[in-house]
Amino acid sequence: MVDQHENASLDTHDPSTVLNTSTMSLFIPSTIPIRPFEDDEGTIEAVTVFPDKRRMVTDSNDYMLRLWDLETGIVLKKMEGHRSVVQRLAISRDGQIIASGDGEGEIIGWHGETSESLTQPIKVHSNQISSLDFSPNGTVLATGGSDWTVKFGCTETWEVQEPIVCGGSVHCVRYSPFGELLAIATDKHIEIYNPATRECVASFEGD
């Protein structure tokens, strides 16, 4: 009679078993922090890391952004300009522009190197901004709002272009890796657009 416990044990001589075990170990998260990042003001709402992985930006309910050094864990700069709670962040893929969006529908563009503001607060949505994403070349910032729209801003002039009107409150906007598609997730469905023509090319309904 075969012992069930023995039958269930790992065969360490089977290469596929060893491979699967080592692969599984990659998915076990570490519970030990590498480094704490502490600042005694505000509650962090969002975090984004620069492409070079040397700095990160956090936003807060005290209306400010904080630029952090990832190696030392210190705040390099506090960035002020918003007039309400900052809720969403994005960094262009070349690290040259930071965008932040707040609960009143305003965005601010920031210089990725100096952290100085490139714009005054720009009213983009009628209420809170729920998502931000830069086009791969950094020339367009897509913003999603709970006002059922996705807006597009040129990062040279910061003028807002014609929006996409969605069928629900927008929760997330994301460009594809090469920028030929834009995915929009609302509380009712997911739609895929050609951002150049604003044409919807696919739609997925939820249950």
CATH code for position 68: 2.130.10.10
Answer yes or no: is 65 within a domain: yes
Answer yes or no: is 4 within a domain: no
What number of residues does the chain have? 207
Range name among 8-22, 117-131, 179-193 with the lowest pLDDT average: 8-22
Name the domain count of the chain: 1
> Which helix (H) or strand (E) is 153 found in, with range?
strand 149-154
Answer yes or no: is 18 within a domain: yes
Identify the domain containing residue 45 by its residue range.
14-205
Average pLDDT of every residue of the chain: 86
Listed as own residue / partner, the contacts of 93-96 with beta carbons closer than 8 Å and 24 or more positions apart are: 93/51, 93/134, 93/136, 93/138, 94/51, 94/138, 95/50, 95/51, 95/52, 96/138
Q: For the residues 53-77, what does the mean pLDDT come to? A: 93
Answer yes or no: is 58 within a domain: yes
Instruction: With a cut of 50, say whether residue 1 has pLDDT above it.
Output: no
pTM score, two decimals? 0.80
Instruction: With a cut of 90, say whether residue 61 has pLDDT above it.
Output: no
pLDDT at 5: 41
In DSSP terms, 99 is beta-bridged to: 90, 109
Q: For the residues 101-124, what does the mean pLDDT come to? A: 96
